[in-house]
Amino acid sequence: MATLTMTPSRFGNSFSGSQSQYRASAPSMADTLPSIDFGFNELRERMAQFTMRFDDFIERGRKRVLEERNAFRMNVAEMEDVQRTRKIAITELESKSSTHAQTLAKEAAETDEMHEAIRTLSAQKEEHVERRDRIKDDINSVQAIIKQKREAQAVHQRALESQARHNIPELRFWEHCLGLRIEASGFGVEDQLRFVFGCVDERDQSKEVWFELLMGAKEYEVPNTKPKLEKERLEETIDRLNETKEVGPFLKAMRSMFVETLKS
């Protein structure tokens, strides 16, 4: 609102005097103006109500801000707790992941070792199977050979038994009439007998000669004689014995060779 300001001048005194006179003689202009009710009381009440509402609004706002700040702080604290928990969980998961990776690597290494062991065992199994088959073949072959040898031995044994039945009377004749004596070998060799002849030297009837006959081998052998006999004739005599298996003719031939050797 504009304010009217009067500036004093040289006519101030005269004007003031005339104004005073006019006031005394005439009614005031203010008295002639209509009365105006500006409603200051209502305005004051309205202002007071507005102030109360504004204070209430401010209070509610302050409370809301405090509540929101407290809620924000609580949310931040919760988020920090969640973050710490998640960090711990992440650390645990990383540790578990590392342990799991190490376990997987160890299992992979063990798997490779097991596969290598399986391959080695498979190779060994194949080798053992081949060896077993070879051994089976060898066993079958040996069994066949043994069977053949047993059959041949049986045939040979039967031949020896048959020959023995014929040789026993002749051997007794040689023992009693021609001074033949059979005794064990002086060298202690198994299946080796010594045949001793007496009365073969006309100059010395007490002199004895002998030879040793080895019977454990497949063929008969004469490893030792006393005195020494001619090698070729001895080998021929042994060959005839191995061919015929007849001991009587063999003893006759051996005695004859001793007699000839003593005469020479």
Look at residue 10 in the predicted model and tell me its pLDDT. 43
The Cα 174–Cα 197 span in angstroms is: 9
| Dist CA 200 CA 207 (whole Å) | 7
**What is residue 28's DSSP assignment?**
-
Among residues 257, 264, 216, 260, the alpha carbon closest in space to that of 236 is found at: 257
Least confident range of 4-8, 191-195, 216-220: 4-8
Asked if pLDDT for residue 11 goes beyond 60, the answer is no
How confident is the model at residue 235, as a pLDDT? 93
Q: What's the average model confidence in pLDDT over 32-58? A: 78
Of 36-40, 133-137, 199-203, 204-208, which gets the smallest average pLDDT? 36-40
The pLDDT of residue 1: 37
Residue of 258, 259, 241 whose CA lies nearest to 250: 241
How far is CA 42 from each of CA 36, 47, 49, 51, rounded to the nearest angstrom?
A: 14, 8, 10, 14
Chain-centre distance for alpha carbon 169: 77
Higher pLDDT, 59 or 10: 59
Asked whether the beta carbons of 222 and 232 are under 8 A apart, the reply is no
pLDDT at 24 > cutoff 60: no
Of 218, 173, 174, 178, whose CA–CA distance to 198 is shortest?
178
pLDDT in tens, 69-97: 898 899 999 899 999 999 999 999 999 98
Q: Where are the beta strands (DSSP E) in 79-143?
A: none
pLDDT attached to residue 198: 84
- How do residues 128-140 score in pLDDT, each as one tens digit? 999 999 999 999 9
- Number of helices (H), then strands (E), belonging to the chain: the values are 5, 4
**How sure is the predictor about 248, in pLDDT bands with cuts at 50, 70 and 90?**
confident
Contact 210, 257 (CB under 8 A): no
pLDDT score of 40 more than 70: yes
Instruction: Assign 238 a pLDDT band (cuts: 50, 70, 90).
Output: very high
CA atoms within 13 A on the CB side of 181: 12
% of the chain residues with pLDDT over 90: 21
